[in-house]
Structure 1
Amino acid sequence: MKRRVKRKVPEANSNTMIIIRIQGKKDMHPRTRKVLYSLGLRRRFSAVFVKPSEGIMAKLQRVEPYVTYGYPNLKSIKELIYKKGHARMEQRKVPLTDNNIIEQELGKFGIVCIEDMVHQIYNAGPHFKEVARFMWPFELNKPAEGLKGSKTIFKEGGDTGNREDLINELINKMN
């Protein structure tokens, strides 16, 4: 039986991180599935923004064969929220078509428009947690060229694991 090599937990290089699930549910350990669900990644090609911390990095190490992650730039965050952004209102998925929805839910934190949300996420502002919880996980498209070796790590020519700043290219392909 093959075993993964234990590696040290990587350091975070940015304020914000995006995690994209690229593997399905086949032959997955129940604990791994639980970690994916706790991150909000229930479906294949879904993505969420998180604030990097030791706890998140430890979770990512557990689910690394199923996800890819990196540090998005402002342009990628803005495009994702404008194109694929949905809000969670009363456990329903509502598209972000106007700022009234945002002002209604996040107005008490001083966030009144989509631009305020983008800057809270990019800078990992004081209300990052509320904005991230307000957002529904992004449902991305499958990349046109497909994926390389899905189970191998990105540094070894695969798709999973830490892409750092190269995650922006993948986001553009999947958006």
Structure 2
Amino acid sequence: RLRQLHNGVFLKVNKPILQMLKLVQPYVTYGYPTLKTVRELIYKRGFGKVNKQRVPLSDNAIIGDTLGEKTGIHGMEDLIHEIYTVGPHFKQANNFLWPFKLSAPKAGFNKKRHGYCEMKGGDWGNREEEINALIRRMN
């Protein structure tokens, strides 16, 4: 789902996903966002997939009409809760969300050649909770 530079998606962390992330690790950065970060992303950069069209999430009716009957997600806060808690309808909620188009981070990247966990402190790899600071710079 990541087809452009500075795009972002949510993933459910499990063993197969971690194996896939190891393969693409030199090209992506990832981590564990807080509820505040998830809320800011969805409110500011959230777009839904309605009839294969990219529709801004400006109204709860858009979410309710698309996800309401099948999943019980009727509004923005229900969607945020389902994504953050990785609830039983996470897959439907995540597929409804269009990948987030973020801007380039303010003050740029530090060292693109090195991984985040290396001694030199690069930009790709697992940032864990520090992904929140990067998302705030890009949001």
Distance in 1, matches of 2:129 and 2:30, equals 9
Residue matched to 1:68: 29
Instruction: Write out the 4+ residue segments of structure 1 that deviate beyond 2 Å after TM superposition.
Output: none
Q: Which has the higher contact order (CA 8 A, sep 6+)?
A: 2
Q: Deviations 1:50-107 (Å, cap 9, x if unpaired)?
A: 1001111011000001100000000000000000000011111000000111000110
Distance in 2, matches of 1:140 and 1:163, equals 17
Residue matched to 1:48: 9
Alignment of structure 1 residues 85-124 onto 2, 5 Å: 85-108=46-69, 109-124=71-86
Do structure 1's residue 135 and structure 2's residue 97 form an aligned pair? yes
Aligned length: 136
Distance in 1, matches of 2:113 and 2:15, equals 24
> For structure 1, which runs of at least 5 residues remain unmatched after alignment?
1-39
* 1:151, distance to aligned residue in structure 2 (A): 2.7
* 1:142, distance to aligned residue in structure 2 (A): 0.3
Distance in 2, matches of 1:121 and 1:151, equals 32
CA RMSD of aligned residues (A): 0.6
TM norm structure 1: 0.77
Relative to its length, the structure with more strand (as a share) is: 1
Q: Does the 8 Å CA contact 1:142/1:174 hold for their aligned counterparts?
A: yes
TM norm structure 2: 0.96
Do structure 1's residue 126 and structure 2's residue 88 form an aligned pair? yes
* 1:46, distance to aligned residue in structure 2 (A): 0.1
